[in-house]
Chains A and B, each alone.
Chain A
């Protein structure tokens, strides 16, 4: 697996320098994602998961260790990455279509305006937003805005899709709809995905590999391979196999949280 890994993060160490002194966030982080893979990262709150997304996006560089994308050290942001966050951050002054096509205005390409729009229409249709192309973001529900945000992240056909808790603020039913949409997008588009999440069911339902991070400073604590194939239905989550995986992950999260508690107590 390591030979054809698209993303390889090895022994990464990173410390933030805050007013209250140095704050180590990552220490001994190892993640490998193969091309076309889907990895979910779970861990206690504030353990440095978002820092991990910024490292892969090239918005931040580690103090120590390697962040390697396609065999190359990440030294700057690159146009082969698409990002979506918990906050859909759509631009209120643009239509949904123009929001989705935004990356095509930044990333160098020789698409005509018409071809860009066609790409936008195609993606919006895939997530069930046909007919909403000319609406403004304020006219859409939270779930619809998040769908548009996913489309924007994919507009320029990125190699890597980074999702930082994109479904975190949605209600349970909307979230399950979006999980299905993620599977459909994965069928239609070729991307390698890193998903940050707090939802263990989400991680098992969507990913091929679930990485559990320890409490801060985060290291890779546990890696679970999800044996499900690419075609998944929500009922898969109610099988004994899934329950076993969820129990396993839940136990690992408790261990991760426990480590933080011990450390705070010994420090105090």
Chain B
């Protein structure tokens, strides 16, 4: 019962209080909805464009997830290379940090020109580019900081590097990996929407946001933002569930 209160009621209560405060702020300042839409404006907006929200929301969601999967694959492979080889770590860190420091909004036109017309691919690529960094770093650090004794207990029995990776290094890195994945999930949404808004091509929530802007439908713009937030929260909790399944052992009971 306590668990249900903590896990469900507390966050929902926080959300309700947040919306009430928001509504109150708009009401007390008497802001028109083109300055700041209030939560009560959002319902009608969602209802009016409900089919577009479903369709475009799906576009944004699958592109984000595809970008994330790409980021995981790339991040794990590069992280492994960097985790196991000091030389590769020294070689690749400046490159990765440099690439990550580039504002991704500036990459949008470059990618759009490079792969003209490949809107799905472009969007997935941007979600990937913005989210692979934390995954790569977490895997690389997880592997390179593995205490030598962990390796030695298996190496002294003649186990191969692959066995050591599978039995020890990989599971030991999982908690850090999931921590990074939580960061990557929210980043990936930013990537997807950046491409959808800056290079609109008629699909995705980013496009819906853009249409709202063009037609001066401010409540619609806010509704898109909220839809994105809800999807972000949803995907975040998917990661939390996966973490519980695969790395639940790392969680200590509060005592």
Contact = CB atoms under 8 A, between A and B. Distances in A.
5 contacts: A81-B156, A91-B168, A92-B249, A92-B250, A93-B174
A59 B168 contact: no
B157 A79 contact: yes
A140 to B, nearest CB: 13
Interface string A94-110: 00000000110111000
List the 6 closest A-B pairs by CB distance, nearest first.
A93-B249, A57-B156, A77-B158, A89-B149, A106-B157, A85-B149
A78 interface: yes
Interface residues on A, range: 20 to 34
Contacts of A59: 152, 155-156
A91 B168 CA distance: 7
Contacts of B167: 91, 102, 105-106
B249 to A, nearest CB: 4
B27 interface: no
Candidate in B159, B172, B252 with the most chain A CB atoms within 10 angstroms: B159
Candidate in B156, B159, B167 with the most chain A CB atoms within 10 angstroms: B156
B contact patch SS? helix
Given A57-B156, A91-B168, 18 more contacts: A57-B152, A77-B155, A77-B157, A79-B157, A81-B156, A81-B157, A83-B156, A85-B152, A89-B149, A92-B172, A93-B171, A93-B174, A93-B250, A102-B154, A105-B167, A106-B158, A106-B159, A156-B157
Contacts, number: 61
Contacts of A85: 149, 152-153
B215 to A, nearest CB: 53
A156 B159 CA distance: 14
B150 interface: yes
Nearest to B158: A77
Given A102-B167, A138-B252, A89 B157 contact: no
Interface in B37-67: none
B157 A103 contact: yes
B90 interface: no
B147 interface: yes
Contacts of A81: 156-157
A91 B174 CA distance: 13
A260 interface: no
B158 A78 contact: yes
A111 B150 CA distance: 24
